[in-house]
């Protein structure tokens, strides 16, 4: 009975982590869909979200919902600028050039922000915007932080679904990811669609950053690296370019990471994620929901 | 013998370089530190040459090159420590065993991942690099000698300037000959168009695997020389940033240019280590702000590197 309770508890913890991964993975999967680019800087936008929220909370003591809105606006702006400055000039360059640029943007953001004059290379404590309360449900406990994470992830997901499947812009996005040239022949503004994709992805990553800061209240400029790569793996696992695939992948990665830490050793948790990646790439490179790798 | 005759110009040049470097060292114009970084530059050139074979010549993008460099380093450190080797002639076989170990692991990991291309290959090699890092961090669970995340200490110092110089020149000549052999032709062919290469009967998969294995072998030898130069290893020396170091050298030097890799390796080590002498520590910290900008600028204006002659 005790073991069962422990397993349930770890499940909740895994879902909490998985929800954050899912939010980041959505940005990866959408950008990959329209540009065929692994946006390495996406993990750093997630980090940026946590830092902006930190400043808004600690310097201006704004209410939490204002913090969410402002952070989303700032990270969306960051995503928009990165796309315009770094990726757009290389739209027709070889794929690897674009990838190396993405690595460069990621390193630049990390090391620029880690300068003492900008942020700091040290860990800083993320302020608690509200008191943590735990609800005891006999078998396991769930905190209000976890409930907030689940509900915000759910709402973001719902809004994203509406955007992608029910609006004109969403149709344009899907058309561009299906075939860029034909889409532009149909009168779709490619640049605007790509920008919109980056804006939506970056604002979701910003939300993920705040939630991560609330759940694991220690932030650092390099905190985006591993979650970024793991979320990309989540996107590959679910089938790259597929929205519900990214969400499922995020939850699977979060759960496996938490279970490996709980039952094996926390030092192996990064390794296990990459073993999952190898298995996916070998056995079903299109991912769980994917049909063909080059189509959405 | 033909091998040496054909390479006579390079050998003559390297003897001249050797004598002049030795003369500079002998008359004591430079400190111990400069000697150390000269050796380090040779090692970096060797490992980058490996990446140039994989990426520059064969077009297989790898973000995990430092993992193979690390495997070579740990194998050599382990063998020289448990056999407590002090003789340089006993060290040479170990050097090649370390390279072969890195090559073998490259071969085994290459079989699954070289089926992927471009960005998926990048993420798979990056994953492999992280996996190796995790294993090295936990290596004290397999044997206390490795030291895990505390680092591997007490490695005998065996790398001398003569040894490193001869090995590096020898391997550069071998690489040059390989590149201009029929295999090298296949590699360059695959880089330009994999589908077309397959259609004229090149076994693209086994050729890619061969290039990858050979590149990892070079990285392993570089790592072995590194381990027995610095006598201390830490898993953080072999993480993604190190892979990006090699990548930058290959790109700056020009993809598919041996001379370019040599120049870029020298410039890179001289630049990084030189800055450390001249400038205060706070300014040196800035280098990782400017290096990514350099990388982005290169991709925009010179995507095939600074020293390449022609575009494909």
Model confidence pLDDT, tens digit, residues A235-281: 999 988 888 899 999 999 999 999 998 888 777 788 888 888 888 88
User: What's residue B306's pLDDT?
Assistant: 67
Cα angle value B66/B71/B73 (rounded, 5°): 90
pLDDT of residue A162: 92
By a Cβ cutoff of 8 Å, what residues of chain A touch chain B? 36-38, 86, 89-90, 93-101, 103-108, 111-112, 115-116, 229, 232-233, 236, 265, 267-268, 270-271, 274-275, 277-278, 281-282, 285
Report the pLDDT value the prediction gives residue B308, as an integer from 0 to 100. 60
The DSSP call for residue B5 is H
pLDDT of res. B138: 84
Q: Give the pLDDT confidence score for residue B32 in this predicted structure.
A: 76
Q: Chain B residue closest to A110 (CA)?
A: B289
Query: Phi, psi (5° rounding) for residue B121?
Result: -65, -40
| Distance in angstroms (rounded) separating the CA atoms of residues B239 and B11 | 35
Asked if A111 lies within 8 A of B113 by C-beta distance, the reply is no
Stated pTM of the model: 0.87
Instruction: For each of the domains in chain A, give its residue range(s) and CATH number, in order of start.
Output: 2-283 (1.10.3470)
* Structure tokens given for B253: 């030097």
What tokens does B47 get? 């490992």
Closest partner residue to B131 among A89, A97, A271, by Cβ?
Answer: A271
Q: Which of B131, B285, B299 sits opposite A90 (nearest CB)?
A: B299
Give B246's contacts in chain A (Cβ within 8 Å). none
How confident is the prediction for chain A on average, in pLDDT? 87
Query: Which chain A residue's Cα is nearest to B109?
Result: A278
Contact criterion met (CB < 8 Å) for B119 and A108 = no
Contact residues, chain A, for B130 at CB < 8 Å: 229, 270-271, 274
A135/chain B closest Cα distance in angstroms: 36
Residues in chain A closer than 8 A to B122 (CB atoms):
38, 96, 99
Q: Both tokens of residue B28?
A: 């004591």
Nearest to B123 among A94, A98, A232 (CB): A232
Long-range contacts of B284-289 (CB under 8 A, 24+ apart): B285/A115, B286/A115, B288/A107, B288/A111, B289/A108, B289/A111, B289/A112, B289/A115
Q: What is the pLDDT of residue A295?
A: 39
Residues of A in contact with B127 (CB under 8 A): 229, 233, 274, 277-278
Binary contact (B123, A38; C-beta < 8 A) = yes
Q: How many CB pairs under 8 A join A and B?
A: 104
Of B112, B130, B296, the CB nearest to A101: B296
Q: How confident is the model at residue A1 (pLDDT cuts 50, 70, 90)?
A: low
What is the rounded average pLDDT of the residues A209-227?
89
Written as tens digits, the pLDDT of chain B (312 aa) is 677 777 778 788 888 888 888 777 777 666 777 788 888 999 999 999 999 999 989 989 898 999 999 999 999 999 998 888 888 888 899 999 999 999 999 999 998 888 887 788 888 898 888 889 888 888 887 777 887 788 888 888 888 888 888 899 999 999 999 999 999 999 999 988 889 999 999 999 999 999 999 999 999 999 999 999 988 889 888 888 889 889 888 888 888 888 889 988 988 888 877 777 777 776 767 777 888 888 888 888 877 766 665 544
Mind telling me how many Å the CA of A271 is from chain B's nearest CA? 5
Predicted confidence at residue B227, as pLDDT, reads 92
* Residue A51: closest CA among A69, A74, A83, A31: A74
**Which of B127, B291, B299 is closest, CB to CB, to A97?**
B299
Higher pLDDT, A63 or A155: A155
Of A96, A233, A265, the CB nearest to B61: A96
> Cα separation of A276 and A280, whole Å?
6
**Locus of tokens 């409930």:** A147
**What's the mean pLDDT in A133-156?**
86
Distance from CA of A17 to the nearest CA of B (A): 20
Indicate the SS3 state at residue A218.
Answer: strand
What residue has token string 């063998």? B79
Instruction: Report the alpha-carbon distance of residue A288 to residue A248 in Å, rounded.
Output: 9
Q: By the 8 A CB rule, do A50 and A213 touch?
A: yes
Give the per-residue pLDDT at A294. 47
Residues of B in contact with A112 (CB under 8 A): 289
């Amino acid at each position: 009975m005790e073991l069962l309770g422990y397993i349930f508890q770890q499940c909740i913890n895994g879902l909490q982590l998985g929800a954050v991964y899912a939010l980041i993975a959505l940005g990866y999967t959408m950008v990959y869909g329209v540009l065929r680019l692994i946006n390495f800087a996406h993990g750093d936008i997630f980090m940026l979200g946590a830092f902006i929220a930190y400043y808004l909370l600690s310097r201006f003591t704004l209410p939490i919902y204002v913090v969410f809105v402002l952070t989303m606006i700032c990270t969306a702006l960051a995503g928009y600028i990165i796309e315009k400055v770094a990726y757009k000039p290389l739209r027709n360059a070889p794929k690897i050039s674009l990838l190396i640029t993405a690595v460069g943007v990621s390193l630049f953001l990390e090391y620029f922000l880690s300068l003492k004059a900008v942020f700091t290379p040290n860990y800083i404590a993320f302020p608690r915007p509200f008191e943590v309360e735990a609800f005891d449900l006999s078998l396991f406990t769930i905190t209000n932080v976890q409930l907030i994470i689940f509900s915000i992830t759910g709402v973001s997901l719902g809004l994203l679904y509406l955007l992608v499947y029910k609006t004109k812009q969403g149709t344009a996005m899907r058309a561009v990811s299906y075939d860029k040239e034909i889409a532009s022949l149909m009168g779709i503004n490619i640049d605007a669609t790509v920008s919109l994709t980056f804006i939506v992805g970056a604002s979701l990553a910003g939300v993920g950053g705040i939630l991560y800061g609330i759940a694991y209240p220690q932030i650092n400029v390099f905190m985006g690296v591993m979650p970024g790569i793991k979320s990309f793996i989540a996107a590959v696992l679910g089938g790259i370019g597929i929205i519900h695939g990214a969400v499922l992948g995020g939850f699977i990665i979060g759960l496996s990471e938490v279970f490996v830490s709980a039952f094996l050793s926390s030092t192996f948790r990064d390794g296990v994620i990459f073993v999952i990646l190898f298995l996916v790439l070998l056995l079903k490179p299109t991912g769980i929901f994917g049909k063909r790798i080059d189509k959405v | 013998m033909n091998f040496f005759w054909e390479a006579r110009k390079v050998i003559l040049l390297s003897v001249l370089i050797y004598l002049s470097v030795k003369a500079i060292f002998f008359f004591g114009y430079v400190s111990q530190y400069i000697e150390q970084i000269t050796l380090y530059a040779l090692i970096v050139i060797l490992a980058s040459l490996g990446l140039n074979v994989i990426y520059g010549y064969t077009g297989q993008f790898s973000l995990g090159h430092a993992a193979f460099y690390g495997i070579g380093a740990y194998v050599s450190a382990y063998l020289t420590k448990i056999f407590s080797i002090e003789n340089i002639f006993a060290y040479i076989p170990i050097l090649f065993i370390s390279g072969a170990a890195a090559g073998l692991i490259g071969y085994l990991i290459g079989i699954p991942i070289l089926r992927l291309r471009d960005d998926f290959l990048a993420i798979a090699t990056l994953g492999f690099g992280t996996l190796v890092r995790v294993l090295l961090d936990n290596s004290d669970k397999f044997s206390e000698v490795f030291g895990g995340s505390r680092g591997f200490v007490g490695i005998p110092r065996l790398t001398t300037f003569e040894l490193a110089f001869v090995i590096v020149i020898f391997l550069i000549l071998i690489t040059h000959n390989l590149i201009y052999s029929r295999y090298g032709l296949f590699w360059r062919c695959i880089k330009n168009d994999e589908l077309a290469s397959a259609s004229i009967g090149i076994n693209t998969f086994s050729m890619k695997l061969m290039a990858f294995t050979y590149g990892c072998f070079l990285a392993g030898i570089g790592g072995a020389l590194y381990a027995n130069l610095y006598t201390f290893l830490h898993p953080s020396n072999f993480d993604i940033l190190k892979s990006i170091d090699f990548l930058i050298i290959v790109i700056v030097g020009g993809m598919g240019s041996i001379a370019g890799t040599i120049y870029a390796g020298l410039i890179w080590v001289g630049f990084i280590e030189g800055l450390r002498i001249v400038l205060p520590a706070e300014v040196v910290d800035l280098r990782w702000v400017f290096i990514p900008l350099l990388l982005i600028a290169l991709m925009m204006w010179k995507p095939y590197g600074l020293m390449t002659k022609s575009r494909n």
